[in-house]
Structure 1
């Protein structure tokens, strides 16, 4: 009986989650007059996607978002890997205190730091640029914690075997630890890409031009006109924006779930 209740609850939550997506799909592929009513046999159309693509420079927005998430993810992988390896395998004075300070960062909402981050970007002279969006997020406490938990499970015998073969500390990290943590990198990469692909407030504040604005900020053009809101075009634009994330999650959902389950029991 308990299993039935759990399954029913999970099914209900899944339905509530997917319902807005189903509405967006229906509205995007049908004429505007069918956006508020479901009618069997309603004509399908791709005109909404064409109108959305023409209404905004989507090619530039896609490029900006891709550059943004790539820059952030590359920086996070490098910094989080080095920090996690140091916390997991090296003994140094103040290690536990330093790690606690890293964990404290998890309790600080990014929005609290918007004013100070803006002042910092202004002093650096990089406002209205992709690096200005990415720089406050290059270091990730969550990434350090997740990789540290993974690295701590690697047997030290593998370190000794690699060092006997003549590997230095960096080679041990790259050839032993990083390959073993591949599922965790995939899962964390999905989380990071999803967050920064969908982030809106900070890019909106720190950018002013099309040349540096990502997709999420670019979508506001569809709700700022004087002709009212065309939900068909908005849904089409939203699907184009979210399609890469949905595809990535479908491709890597197994690694995503398994890596977090493994990290949670360590």
Structure 2
């Protein structure tokens, strides 16, 4: 495991090293202990990475907030509300998991175009407001909770919404955290759909902005600048994982899928 970890860390270490090296030292032979922050200032001034960062934060948090609302209601309906054809409808709903997201790009683009949402943040977020994976994960968690909890709450006069907010959601926190890791990391690193939908820097995300910066004629061959820009894009996810790694590991350990 340590060997595999070392192999995985080599590109990361190389990127971090080049991000803090002067240009002359990065292309020289041997190891250099020189250190500079000029690469980051040059990158920050060379492209609107501040705007890209804000766009990515807004899109990622916006998608996750809407997903929490939609998947919670859908999961509760599939897990606890009895209606005709519930299991058949749930199986049809799960078909979304089996369809690769790239297959739907053309149809999604047509819909976004007809709605007039091209080159907007809403246009980036709209196709991801519902998550079949999240509904499946949370439905399994809701089904594991004892029915006696809901029956006791109804005896006390609690409504369905109150039961959902006071019982099901608090007891399913590990599952919500597990889904948050999947959702936020995916949309933070998403590239193809934001590339297709956006055309301006006002709505461009970090991954697309990084690709544009790396391919530009001024920065294409400057490894220190490209490494600094890459570190800007990846640093929030790396820092978040290092700070909350214990909670992340605990959430996956306590969110096993049963039933």
| TM-score interval, normalised by the smaller of the two chains | over 0.9
Aligned with residue 263 of structure 1, among 250, 255, 258: 255
Contact 1:190-1:248 at 8 Å conserved across structures? no
Contact 2:123 2:197 in 1 (8 A): yes
Count of residues in correspondence between the two structures? 257
1:60 is matched with 51
1:90-116: CA deviation from partner (whole Å, max 9, x where unpaired) = 221111111112222111111111110
Counterpart of 1:249 in structure 2 is 241
Whether the aligned pair in 2 keeps the contact of 1:190 and 1:249 (CA below 8 Å) is: no
1:238 is matched with 230
Residue in structure 2 matched with residue 224 of structure 1 by the alignment: 215
User: In the TM superposition, what is the alpha-carbon distance from 1:265 to its structure 2 partner?
Assistant: 4.8
Segments of structure 1 that go 5 or more residues without pairing to the other structure are 1-9
1:33 matched residue in structure 2 = 24
Pick which of 126-135 and 250-259 moved more: 250-259
The residue that corresponds to 2:122 in the other structure is 131
- Structure 1 Cα separation of the partners of residues 245 and 33 of structure 2: 33
Give, in whole Å, the separation in 2 of the partners of 1:18 and 1:36.
21
Please report how far the alpha carbon of residue 120 of structure 1 lies from its aligned counterpart in structure 2 after TM superposition.
Answer: 0.2
Q: Which moved more, 1:103-112 or 1:218-227?
A: 218-227
Equivalent residue, structure 1, for 2:101: 110
Q: What is aligned with 1:17? A: 8
> Structure 1 segments of 4 or more deviating over 6 A?
none
Cα RMSD after superposing both structures: 1.6
- How is 1:137-176 mapped onto 2 (pairs within 5 angstroms)? 137-176=128-167
2 CA distance for matches of 1:57 and 1:148?
A: 41
Provide the rounded CA distance (Å) in 2 between the counterparts of 1:28 and 1:38.
17
Aligned to 2:174: 183
Residues 222, 229 of structure 1: 8 Å contact kept: no
- After TM superposition, the score normalised by the length of structure 2 is 0.94
Aligned counterparts of 2:11 and 2:160: Cα–Cα separation in 1: 49
Per-residue CA distance 1:179-214 (angstroms, 9 max, x = gap): 111121112112111111110111010111111111
How far apart are the structure 1 equivalents of 2:214 and 2:31?
A: 29
Residue 67 of structure 2 corresponds to residue 76 of structure 1: yes
Moved more, 219-228 or 141-150: 219-228
Distance 1:50 1:150 in 2: 47
What is the distance in 2 between the residues matched to 1:38 and 1:264?
50
Q: Give the CA deviation at 1:260.
A: 2.9
